[in-house]
Amino acid sequence: MSTKDAMIEFRDVHKYYGDYHALRGITGTIRPGEFFSLLGPSGCGKTTLLRTIAGFEGISSGAVLVDGRDMAGVPANKRPTNMVFQSYAIFPHLSVEQNVGFGLRKDPRPAAEKAKAVDEALEMVGLKGYGKRAAHALSGGQRQRVALARALILKPKVLLLDEPLSALDKKMREQMQMELIKLQRQVGITFILVTHDQEEALVMSDRIAVMFEGEIAQLADPETLYRRPNSRKVADFIGTMNFLPARVTGEAGDTVEVEAAGFGRFGVAASQVMGGKTSEGATVGFRPETLTILFDGSAPSDRETMATIEEVVYFGDMTYYDVRIDGTQTAVRISMRNVFGRPVLDIGARARVGWSPGALVLFR
């Protein structure tokens, strides 16, 4: 890949803290103008990786390139990146406008122009007229916006966001997610978001790198991650996925022949097959919404099987059923939309379950 297509490039990046191997050979590129997320459980190295871009963390080997330039030996204050910190790091002894204008201190423009830039930045994040307020008197959401304005006013090539929404309540968080997406489209700057919240990553990102134990497990767009996770671990981390044991019985052209208890024999397209070539210990995975409970009068599915309802969780717009498909040992989860006129089934009820081989993923 030429450097034109890469705003950030990681080349086999390793990082050790003493004996602890925090980053284990990270390779990958982040494209210009992209909303990119580093997603993973705590301790997977996602924040460390972000901090190697900012220059707060050195690397033990490999290279980090920003806009085609190797960042080795370039200190944080000389890098074309700016960061929004998890704690927001608003300078408590300065006013809102002093905070936002902090990075312009060495800017040669006259003071009036700089003041105008600060006003524009504040307007962009929805804090017009807040300039004179004391920073320590702001709410969490307002601090967040000040931190954004302070970073974006310098027009960085890359904006780094370290779990910026984790301290907000749910409603505020969802609102800020939408605002961040809009803001990113408006300014066109590459955003890199670190988050442990898979839903947040799916909602906001153009592409996501899922990280486990210092390695990138999968790097793909949200839909690919959701529909075709490349391992059980990724599938488990992103949303809910049901797993049932299966056996590979043969391969015919682009199709892998599979036999799974409760589903019988069927073929899975090669594009839906993840992992190596072994036929031992295969698993089929499917999302709760890809199975359907067939109520009387609903459209017939291409395949059907019988199941017993073991648990019912009512969510208002949705109902989650834990059902045990005949011939299987473990219950699987099915989510059904509560459209008008559709009954909610009781525990113990028998149900017809419709499924489609096209919605399954086979892990080998």
Partner 1 sequence: MKAPALRVYTIAYLVFLYAPIVLLPLFAFNDSKVIAFPLQGFTTSWFQIMWADQNLWNAIKNSAVISTSVAVFSTLLGLFAARASTRFKFPAKGAALGLIMLPLVLPEMIVAMSMLVVLLALGVPLSIFTIILGHVLLCTPFAVAILTSAFQSLDQSLEEAALDLGETPLSTFWLIILPLVMPGIISSLLICFTISLDEFIMAYFLGGNEPVLSTYIFGQFRFPQRVPAIMALGTILVCLSITLLAIAEYFRRRGIAKAGGKDTGGFL
Q: Interface residues with partner 1 (CB under 8 A)? A: 54-56, 75-77, 81-83, 85-87, 89, 91-93, 102-103, 105-106, 136, 150-151, 154
102 vs 320, beta carbon nearer partner 1? 102
Strands of 81-84's sheet in order across:
81-84, 158-162, 190-195, 35-39, 207-212, 215-220
Backbone angles phi, psi at 356, to 5 degrees: -140, 130
Residues 6+ apart with CB under 8 A from 93: 135
The least CB distance from residue 65 to partner 1, in Å, is 19
Cα 333 from Cα 313, distance rounded (Å): 10
DSSP secondary structure of 173-210:
HHHHHHHHHHHHHHH--EEEEEES-HHHHHHH-SEEEE
Residue 203, token pair as written in the block = 């909602």
Least distance to partner 1, CB of residue 72, Å: 17
Closer CB to partner 1, residue 42 or residue 77? Answer: 77
**Torsion angle (degrees, nearest 10) of CA 214, 218, 223, 224:** -170
Q: Which residues are 306's β-sheet partners?
A: 352
Please say which residue, 81 or 305, places its beta carbon nearer to partner 1: 81
Q: Rounded to the nearest whole angstrom, what is the least distance from the CB of residue 103 to partner 1 in the complex?
A: 4
Report in angstroms how near the CB of residue 93 gets to partner 1 at its nearest.
Answer: 5
Which residues on neighbouring strands pair with residue 320, listed in sequence order? Answer: 313, 335
- Least Å from the CB of residue 168 to partner 1: 17
235 near 198, Cβ under 8 Å?
no
Give least dist CB 150 to partner 1, A.
7
Q: Which lies closer to partner 1 via its Cβ, residue 103 or residue 126?
A: 103
State CA 175 to chain mean position distance: 17
Q: Rounded distance, CA 359 to CA 165, Å?
A: 33
| Contact (Cβ atoms closer than 8 angstroms) between residue 232 and residue 281 | no
Residue with smaller CB distance to partner 1, 81 or 218: 81
163 or 200: whose CB is closer to partner 1?
163
Cα 212–Cα 173–Cα 242 angle in degrees, nearest 5: 45
Nearest distance, CB of residue 179 and partner 1, angstroms: 21
CB of 66 to partner 1, least distance (A): 13
CA distance 188 to 149: 15
Rounded distance, CA 250 to CA 96, Å?
Answer: 66
- Whether the CB-CB separation of 32 and 190 falls below 8 Å is answered with yes
Q: Of 48 and 218, which has the nearer Cβ to partner 1?
A: 48
Q: Give the C-alpha separation, 96 to 79, whole Å.
A: 24
4/109 with CB nearer partner 1: 109
Closest approach of Cβ 148 to partner 1, in Å? 13
Measured from the CB atom, the residue of 55 and 222 that comes closer to partner 1 is 55
